[in-house]
Amino acid sequence: MVTYVIRRLIQLVIVLIGVTVITFVIMFAIPGDPAQQLAGKNATPERIATIRTQLGLDQPIYIQYYRFVGRLVRGDLGESYQLQKPVLQMIVENAPNTIQLAVAAVLIELLGIPLGIYSALRQFTFWDTALTTTALIIWGIPVFVLGVFMQWLFGLKLQEWTGYNVFPLTGAGDNVLGVIPASWSSLATLILPAVTLGLIEVAYISYMQRASMLEVIRADYIRTARAKGVSEGMVVRKHAFKNAVIPVMTIAGIDLGALMGGAILTETVFNRPGIGLMIYQAIGARDLPVVAGGVLFATLVYVFANLFVDLGYAWVDPRIRLEG
Amino acid sequence: MKKPTRRWRGLLAVAAVLIVAALLLGACGAKESTGNGGTGDQGTPVAGGTYNYPLSANPVSIEPVNAQESEGMQVAHQVFQGLTKYVLNDKGEMEAVPDIAEKWESTDSQTWTFHLKKGVMFQAPVSREVKAQDFVDGWNYVTDPANESFVSYILAPVEGSDDGGYQVDTKKGLTGVKALDDYTLEVKLRYPFAEFPQTLGHTVAAAWPVDYAKEIGAKKFSQKPVGTGPYMVESWKNNQSVTLVKNPDYWDTSEGAGPYIDTINMPIITSSQTEWLEFQKGTLDYTTVPPGQVAAAENKPEVKSGQWTAKRWPTLALYYVGMNMKDPTLGQNAELRQAISQSTDAQNVINIVNEGVPLPATGYVPLGMPGYAEGQNPWAYDPEAAKSTIDDMGGAPTLEYWYNTDEGHQKIAEVLQAGWQNAGIDVKLSNFEWGTFLDKLSKGNKGGGSQLFRMGWIADYPSMDNFLYPLFQSDQARTGSYTFYSNPEVDKLLQEARSTMDAQQRYDLYLQAEKQILTDMPASPLYFYRDFRVTNNRVANYVHNPMGFTDMWTLWIPEQAAE
């Protein structure tokens, strides 16, 4: 197990190198010059050249990358071109809201498990068809469209109809212990973005859970259990569910990392100050250190989520052995 | 497992019907009424309340050294004051009037003497009087290249500065600015410039306590800067919000000087869709609207009932079609350029692409500029005349039109292409990313120069000079308008205007220059931008001036009187 973890951590370094290289190449490939943006419209070519030199942008991409990595190993992610603030500080400030959002979205997406089981146990009935069709439709909705719809329905119209401002459309509240909403108003800012991000995954999880359950429910040991006269409830809870939920939990775990991507759009729509909004704004300003820092953070979350899922998998299912 | 019972199905059906009915009611239920909206009750100002004004991006900076884009400058506009300020006069033009300066004089438009008001105070915690030396220190600071100001070019006319607004010799500093005594500031310019006071309402030239900023550190100062204005920065949470509060010790106690509203809450909302929804929810008092929703916003019942105002506010900005005068085909063929201008269908572009918001441009200098005159373009839209010119020429060569990669610019290019096609001018469209686009435009006729291209210009300060000189003066036209236009007669007129102290005579000279440039037609003016904004009439006296600023200290909330 220890060897396995060490091997995964070594792989992590390779992944991080790959991710930073790709981020650098993409940021260089997309149009726009940060020096020109910073210099303003009336800047002389000399001024733009000076800024380029100050930021090190006059160097070839590999030199810039080398410098970036050099700083990175010393724990320095550099400074934002635009805000002239350490990127690490920006990540520390913004991460709690994103972690909160991703965790809340994962908790919401777990609703897909009972829905999937319900669907599987009623295969080909009206409710099974209704649930799977709805899941497919929701799964196909882009997160920014769903986000605006949620804002309109629950943020705007609900207030018009009831007179109560239950769900704020934007922002984030104060937290305690870093990531726990400190008040109802703080929690209220989390609900709509988390439901938006989570709902699409509910659809996905329920679909996966249904498929997994259908496979398990037809297994020999289930038939044996039923033949022995075990009650249907017991068969489902004790035998089928435990086995059918393992692959789905894996997906949910990995989703914690994958939701970091969805967070960019969700945080932009809901104007929620987090890593996603930070990356979005930095891309607009061609602020490479911030984009690279944000992407690194997201990658770390993704890789560690994967690692914990793998470790958890071995723990839940002792048949799986993690080989070093 | 049980199947869903009939009772449950029935309940679900009822719930579904209720939801659908509620949605329909929500869509149709808003009360219908008629009437035109205004910008709020114009009664007697009352103090108190909070004004909710969103910023569409995190400001780059909110203090004089680097406030440069609309968000940062809007914040700085409430906090800082300069020697002059811009007010909207009765003709709807932005005029520079004394602010911290009481008056100024110059005989040759090259050496200026500004007399400062006494009793102008910096906000707490500095709380000391502003002296002429503060301007000397501030201007020296922003023009020092070490301080990396990106807006110092506004001070480029001052002696000791280069064209980019940076000190030629940092040891000597900005030699042209001197405090003759505590309340007298002398400014020597590198060249005569009669519109110089018009430039000094820009934030970069504002008064700020350099000594205090150095004491607490530039970074700390940039987060919570101190000026002399009616509002103070309470907090700036990056990417979240800026909060301003009323300056309790505001030096200007004259009637109507304000401020009235206690707090200005500026949440940073990057999505215009979200901003528009927040406005409708009542949490904002001002909003832009997302693309494609101008008509829908204008038809909102709240607008018709006068609860909100939806308005197109003129701004000092121009969109034009440039023509490369170094191109062998276009540069030597005035008739072709005239025909292009006459077949440039601005109204169609405005209606099809811009939801009817901008105004067709009648010259280069936009509406709202002091001295503006309508109908300057002798080659205004006249497709028949254009067609007849092209026919007389025996047809036109195929031309290329360049734009920087952007969906909006592409749509505009397509509408323009159709208009030119109707006049018999075939135009091929090409697009490039911004950096490449500028680089290619600056090449002239060397290595594949441009022919026709799109370009825009936004005023740095309200002066005709700010449009005509940087865009069309011979030395500037290469990277100003990218047209490589050069006409000694125009250069002479612009120079003469800069040396003319009498405002009307000066405007006449600028207008003559504008007319001459338009006659030569190196660029066809397409439209003057207007900002479409919806505002809540809960707040009285809202004005969005042509520089895009709102003097928030003049706003008030009538409902505060009832509380």
User: Domains of chain A (ranges plus CATH)?
Assistant: 95-311 (1.10.3720.10)
**B171 to B147, B174, B175, B194: CA distances (angstroms):** 14, 9, 10, 29
Are A232 and B1 a contacting pair at CB < 8 A?
Answer: yes
The count of CB pairs under 8 A between chains A and B is 110
Identify the pLDDT of residue B550: 93
- What residue spans of B263-345 are helical by DSSP H? 272-281, 294-298, 301-304, 328-331, 334-342
- What pLDDT is recorded for position A67? 81
What pLDDT, on the 0 to 100 scale, is given for residue A41? 54
Nearest-by-Cβ selection for A152 from B237, B239, B277: B277
State the pLDDT at residue B28: 35
CB contact under 8 Å between B164 and A169, yes or no, is: no
Structure tokens at A177: 């212990």
> What backbone phi and psi angles, to 5 degrees, belong to A259?
-65, -20
The model's pLDDT over A98-143, given as tens digits with 9 standing for 90+, comes to 888 888 888 888 888 889 888 888 888 898 888 888 888 888 888 8
Instruction: Note the pLDDT tens digit of each residue in A51-100.
Output: 777 777 778 888 888 887 888 778 788 888 877 788 899 898 888 888 88
User: Is the model's pLDDT at A320 over the cut of 80?
Assistant: no
Report CA torsion sign: B357, B362, B364, B367: negative
Token pair of B241, please? 């919000």
| Residues of B whose CB is below 8 A from A268 | 270-271
Q: What is the pLDDT of residues B435-469, one digit of tens each?
A: 778 878 887 776 677 899 999 998 889 999 999 99
The structure's pTM equals: 0.79
Distance CA B515, CA B517 (A): 5
**Span of A268-272, B270-274, B281-285, B474-478 with lowest mean pLDDT:** B474-478
Q: What are phi and psi of B7, to 5 degrees?
A: -60, -45
Residue B34 confidence (pLDDT): 30
| More reliable by pLDDT, B36 or B2 | B2
pLDDT one-digit tens code per residue, B49-93: 999 999 988 888 899 998 888 889 999 999 999 999 999 888 888
- C-alpha span between B109 and B99 (Å, rounded): 20
**Under CATH, what is the fold of the domain B79-228?**
Dipeptide-binding Protein; domain 1 (3.90.76)
Q: Which residues on chain A are in Cβ contact (under 8 Å) with B438?
A: 36
Pairs from B448-451 (Cβ < 8 Å, separation ≥ 24): B449/B324, B449/B326, B449/B327, B450/B322, B450/B324, B450/B327, B450/B400, B450/B402, B450/B482, B451/B323, B451/B324, B451/B327, B451/B329, B451/B330, B451/B399, B451/B400, B451/B401, B451/B402
pLDDT of residue B17: 39
What is the percent of chain B where pLDDT is above 70?
A: 91
Q: How many Å lie between the alpha carbon of B239 and the closest alpha carbon of chain A?
A: 6
- Count CB-CB contacts under 10 A for residue B458: 16
User: Nearest CA to CA, how far is A115 from chain B (Å)?
Assistant: 14
Amino acid A299: pLDDT: 83
CA angle B312, B315, B316 (to 5 degrees): 160
On chain B, the residues whose CB falls within 8 A of the CB of A280 are 270
Q: Which pLDDT score, from 0 to 100, does residue B347 have?
A: 94
- Select the residue of A44, A156, A165 nearest B164 (Cβ to Cβ): A44
Q: A-chain residues within 8 Å CB-CB of B4?
A: 126-127
* N-term to C-term CA, chain A: 7
Other beta carbons less than 10 A from residue B72's beta carbon: 22
b (16+ CB within 10 A) / e for A224-244:
ebeeeeeeeeebbeebbbebb
CB contact (8 A) between residue A31 and residue B435:
yes
Q: A-chain residues within 8 Å CB-CB of B301? A: none
Which residue is closest to B218 within chain A, CA to CA?
A84
Q: Mutation target for A interface from B2, B8, B238: give the one with most A CBs within 10 A.
A: B238
Does residue A295 have a pLDDT over 60?
yes
Q: Rank A193-202, A278-287, A305-314, B519-528 by mean pLDDT and report only the highest.
A: B519-528
The reported pLDDT for the residue numbered A121 is 85
pLDDT digits 0-9 by tens, B22-38: 333 333 333 333 333 33
Which residue's entry shows tokens 């987060």? B223
pLDDT at res. B208: 96
Give residue ranges of B with CB < 8 Å to any A CB: 1, 3-4, 22-23, 26, 57-58, 60, 68, 145, 148, 150-151, 153, 163-164, 166, 219, 237-240, 267-271, 273-274, 277-278, 280-281, 283, 405, 433-436, 438, 458, 460, 470, 479
Residue B343 corresponds to which amino acid? S
Alpha-carbon dihedral sign for residues A276, B59, A71, A34: positive
With contact defined as beta carbons under 8 Å apart, do B359 and B397 qualify?
A: no
DSSP state letters, A158-185: HHHHHS---S-SS----EETTTEE-SHH
State phi, psi for B15 to the nearest 5 degrees: -60, -40
Looking at chain B, the domain(s) classified CATH 3.10.105.10 span: 314-530
Q: Give the mean pLDDT of A269-296.
A: 85
Tens-place pLDDT, residues B174-220? 999 999 999 999 999 999 999 999 999 999 999 999 999 999 998 88
User: At residue A6, does pLDDT exceed 80?
Assistant: yes
Tokens 């979205």 locate to: A105
CATH architecture for the domain at B314-530 = Roll (3.10)
Average pLDDT over residues B528-532: 94
For every residue of A286-323, DSSP letters joined together read T-HHHHHHHHHHHHHHHHHHHHHHHHHHHHH-TT----
pLDDT at A321 over 50: yes
Name the residue facing B239 among A43, A165, A278 (closest C-beta): A278
Q: Where in chain B is the domain with CATH 3.90.76.10?
A: 79-228
> Which pLDDT belongs to residue A2?
78
pLDDT of residue A323: 57
pLDDT computed for residue A96 by the predictor: 87
B163 vs A44: CB contact, 8 Å cut-off?
Answer: yes
C-alpha span between A277 and B267 (Å, rounded): 14
Give the integer Cα–Cα distance in Å for B169 and A295: 43
